[in-house]
Amino acid sequence: MTIDGIWSYTPDSGYAEGQDLTGYAVVTADGTLGHVEREADPHGMRHLVVDTGVWLFGRSAVVPAGVVTAVDHEGRTVSLVCTGDQVKDAPRFRTDSETTDPAYLTAVGDHYRRLTPRGTTSA
Q: What is the pLDDT of residue 44?
A: 86
pLDDT in tens, 2-25: 455 899 999 999 999 889 999 999
pLDDT at 50 over 70: yes
Q: What is the pLDDT of residue 27?
A: 96
- Distance CA(98)–CA(9), nearest Å, equals 21
Of the pLDDT bands very low, low, confident and very high (cuts 50, 70, 90), residue 122 is very low
pLDDT in tens, 66-114: 999 999 999 999 999 999 989 988 998 888 888 888 899 999 999 999 8
50 CB contacts (<8 Å, ≥6 apart)? 26, 33, 34, 35, 36, 37, 60, 61, 62, 63, 87
Q: Note the pTM of the prediction, 2 decimals.
A: 0.84
Q: What is the pLDDT of residue 3?
A: 54
Q: What is the mean pLDDT of residues 34-56?
A: 86
**Strand locations in the chain (E):** 25-28, 31-40, 47-51, 60-64, 68-72, 77-80
20 φ, ψ (degrees, to nearest 5): -105, 115
- For the chain, the distance separating the N- and C-terminal CA atoms, rounded to the nearest angstrom, is 10
70 φ, ψ (degrees, to nearest 5): -155, 140
More confident residue, 120 or 98: 98
Q: What is the mean pLDDT of residues 41-57?
A: 82
Q: List the Cα angle 25/97/68 in 5-degree steps.
A: 30
